Amino acid sequence: MSYSIHPASGIGRLGEGFGRGLSEQLPKEVERYRLASGLKNLSSMQENDPLEQMAYIASLPATPQMIQTFGELLKMRNVRNAYGKSSSQEMSGGSSEGREGQHQDSKQRMNRESSMPKQEEMLRQVAQAQKPFQAQESESPPQIVQENPLAQKFVPGVRWTPQQRNAAVSKYINQGFLPEKAEQLASNDEERFLGSPEDYRKQMEYFDEQRKNLNSEFDRKLQKVLQKSPEGTFQDITGEMQANIERSMQRDLRENPNLTTDDITSKWAAKALETAKAKKEFDTTASTTGIESLIKGKTPLKKLEQYSRIFKDSGNSEEYKKMLVSKMKLSQQGASDIAFEPNKKIQKYIEENISPSPNSTINRSLKYAKDISKMINSGDSLLGIAHRIKSKDPFFDEREFFDLLREQQEDLSLNERQRREIAEGESDIIPHWGDILVFPFYLTESIRRAVGGNKK
């Protein structure tokens, strides 16, 4: 018996096996590709509804164990995203309005918001109730300031209504939290809301204690540098001056958080000592300045201006002005000129743009007022500026100058002292004896007025 091999049959069997293997392997590769591609798509589905995400997972060629694992991972991711969304909304929505905002003008708010959906209004109320806690985290460092104990934020709050609580839960669910966690977060919000008045009271007590400690340490160092008893310090620095220094010291502590209490009190005790020395020297100058100053051709102006810088450095410019009026017999304008040195811009303007001229005095005075009103800052004195202009231009019309400032004062950023100065307005026709002794230009001014008066 003989056997024969047919090549075609062998190749056929090989092709048949290869085809069978390929048919078995290809679906698996397709499934792997679908699974990999599906997981990649799932990772980018950040904002989709959880039900949509689970439905998408179920459509993937995954085993039950894989689907369960993916579901747990999906739950963890959604909770993480919910916390992130909630924290970002709180940070962007925080403000310093305080708790009192939710109690004010409630009727007006109800009228304005009557057209809002109930759910949206509830969410707004809850968000408003939560603002104090968000603001506390984003506010500037605590300030050592006294507050009104009857302020609304110190008044105990009332528990949320069921509608407010449900709105809070709904808000957290909409952010992606599971219902159980949303209820817990809403409960925490309500407890913080109810506890905040007590927290504010404790904070106010803490600030009050720190303020007393700061002032006590300052008083101790002040007595040491002045070498005085507590009562004796008032001989060198008045009580009002000490109070001004204490306010400046507290502001300095707020604005410089890196400084210690010892740093601050030492710094301001040294300033107080310089102020005490300047006050003593000023008293001597005031008691020894008389008609002989005119005879000798010397005035104490330079001395008084130097004292002014020392009083300004301790926050006592206004007290120094009062001393100039009471002890040197200066006018309000003359005293303001010395006690409140104008800022550099105004000084430059007066130096470069003002010169004596009997022509068009009204128009020129109005121009002075318009130009200078744009340069004024909180440390300037309107009376002092008018006095300094008059020293350069004796034909200056003060009445027109102050009338324009009165008309524009609502558009200017003026403090209370500057508004009072506008009310004081133009100076007296007859100069004060102290002004004549201190400011040389008053002699020529007095002669000019006696001869011809103001020319318009």
Per-residue pLDDT tens digits for 433-453: 888 888 877 655 544 454 454
**Alpha carbon distance 291, 278 (integer Å):** 23
In this prediction, residue 24 carries a pLDDT of: 58
Using CA of residue 427, residue 431, residue 436, residue 440, what is the dihedral sign? positive
Euclidean distance between CA atoms 171 and 186, whole angstroms? 9
Rounded distance between C-alpha atoms, residue 325 and residue 432, angstroms? 10
pTM over 0.75: no
Question: What is the structure's pLDDT at 283?
Answer: 92
Judged against a pLDDT cut of 60, whether residue 105 lies above it is answered with: no
The first and second tokens of residue 113, run together, are 């918001």
Question: How high is the pLDDT of residue 333?
Answer: 94
Mean pLDDT of the chain: 74
CA–CA separation, 341 vs 350, rounded Å? Answer: 13
- Alpha-carbon span 384 to 64, nearest angstrom: 87
Measure CA 236 to chain center.
35
Task: Let me know: does 91 contact 134? Beta carbons within 8 Å.
Answer: yes
CA distance 155 to 169: 25
144 Cβ contact partners less than 8 Å away, ≥ 6 residues apart: 207, 210, 211, 214, 250, 253, 254
Least Cα distance to 347 among 378, 380, 396 occurs for 380
What pLDDT, on the 0 to 100 scale, is given for residue 277? 92
Which helix (H) or strand (E) is 67 found in, with range? helix 64-93
Dist. CA 214–CA 268, nearest whole Å:
11
Read off the pLDDT of each residue in 405-431 and give the average, rounded to a whole number.
89
Q: What angle do CA 87, 88, 91 make, to 5 degrees?
A: 85
The dihedral sign for the CA sequence 335, 340, 341, 345: negative
Report pLDDT for 377.
92
Mean pLDDT is highest, among 80-89, 299-308, 445-454, for: 299-308
In Å, how far from its chain's centre is CA 74? 43
Written as six digits, the tokens of 456 are 């318009």
Q: Report the range out of 225-239, 298-312, 328-342, 437-451 with the highest average pLDDT.
A: 328-342
d(CA 444, CA 450): 10
The residue type found at 405 is L
- pLDDT score, position 133: 39
Q: Name the token pair of 265.
A: 């009190």
Confidence of residue 140 (pLDDT cuts 50, 70, 90): very low
Contacts of residue 211, defined as CB under 8 A and 6 or more positions apart, other chains included, come to 144, 146, 250
Q: Average pLDDT, stretch 163-173?
A: 82
pLDDT in the model for residue 345: 95
> In the predicted model, is pLDDT for residue 14 greater than 70?
no
